[in-house]
């Protein structure tokens, strides 16, 4: 069985047991797989045979994953990158997002979870629908859903959002948001103060199946608060509604 894409996935992992296990499951799901055990080998592999997606361990024996990712993005390699981090290393995930990573999975991980992320990232990158018979893949979701059209300019607190220019200012100063941070902000703005569940945000912003387990939303919420709230630990705009999700206070 295949997922219909036969996409080439590069696994960059120095633990051979983990790398071979992932490779076996990816091949069973219909992907082609390359392996690299060091950062240098990963850079050469992408230069020689550009993959559709990379699974990148951040802790490598020569160049670390951060430097590898920084080099790829600097030279224009734009394939989706799913980074592997140690458990409870959310700061590493944030750093990876800042360098151009698309998502992360914490070790130890479930193979089914990695396959779900791979399918979602490739779907978003290519716009193709996977074969519904693919093993261990999530239900297909037709990409991020359209949100209601927003006014050209919105304001909450001291934050101004120019939806035409996709630009955000705080106290008149530009705030550099990464693309998914901006998309998440817009998804919350579109609900005009209503509570939005985490699974809805995963679906609408990332195109993930609701069953995917991911802390991507939480990580991006924390970054939005850090950049937009006066006291990120005591937010007044980007609010958590316990057991229900998040909402954006427009006051």
Q: Which domain, by its residues, includes 27? A: 8-126
Give residue 164's pLDDT: 85
pTM of the predicted structure, to 2 decimals: 0.61
Give residue 80's pLDDT: 93
Give residue 212's pLDDT: 56
Q: Are residues 193 and 87 in the same domain?
A: no
Give residue 213's pLDDT: 57
Q: Are residues 91 and 24 in the same domain?
A: yes
Q: Are residues 163 and 117 in the same domain?
A: no
**How many structural domains compose the chain?**
2
Give residue 138's pLDDT: 32
Which residue ranges of the chain lie beneath pLDDT 50? 1-4, 128-147
Give residue 12's pLDDT: 96
Alpha helices (runs of H) in the chain, residue ranges in sequence order: 16-28, 39-48, 65-74, 90-99, 111-126, 179-190, 198-201, 216-228
Q: Are residues 119 and 158 in the same domain?
A: no
Q: Are residues 12 and 113 in the same domain?
A: yes
């Amino acid at each position: 069985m295949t997922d219909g894409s036969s996409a080439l996935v590069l696994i960059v992992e120095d633990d051979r047991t983990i790398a071979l296990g992932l490779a076996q499951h990816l091949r069973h799901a219909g992907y082609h797989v390359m392996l690299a055990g060091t950062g240098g080998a990963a850079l050469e592999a992408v230069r020689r045979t550009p993959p559709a997606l990379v699974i990148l361990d951040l802790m490598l024996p020569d160049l670390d994953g951060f430097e590898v990712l920084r080099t790829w993005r600097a030279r224009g390699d734009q394939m989706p990158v799913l980074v592997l981090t140690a458990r409870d290393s959310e700061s590493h995930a944030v750093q990876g997002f800042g360098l151009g990573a698309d998502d992360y999975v914490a070790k130890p991980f479930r193979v089914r979870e990695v396959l779900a992320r791979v399918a979602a990232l490739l779907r978003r990158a290519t716009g193709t629908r996977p074969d519904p018979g693919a093993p261990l893949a999530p239900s297909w979701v037709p990409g991020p859903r359209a949100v209601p059209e927003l006014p050209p300019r919105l304001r909450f607190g001291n934050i101004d959002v120019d939806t035409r220019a996709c630009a955000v200012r705080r106290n008149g100063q530009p705030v550099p948001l990464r693309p998914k941070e901006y998309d998440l902000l817009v998804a919350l703005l579109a609900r005009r103060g209503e509570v939005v569940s985490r699974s809805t945000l995963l679906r609408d912003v990332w195109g993930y199946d609701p069953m995917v387990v991911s802390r991507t939303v939480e990580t991006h919420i924390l970054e939005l608060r850090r950049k937009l709230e006066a006291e990120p630990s005591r937010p007044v705009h980007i609010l958590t509604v316990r057991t229900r999700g998040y909402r954006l206070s427009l006051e």
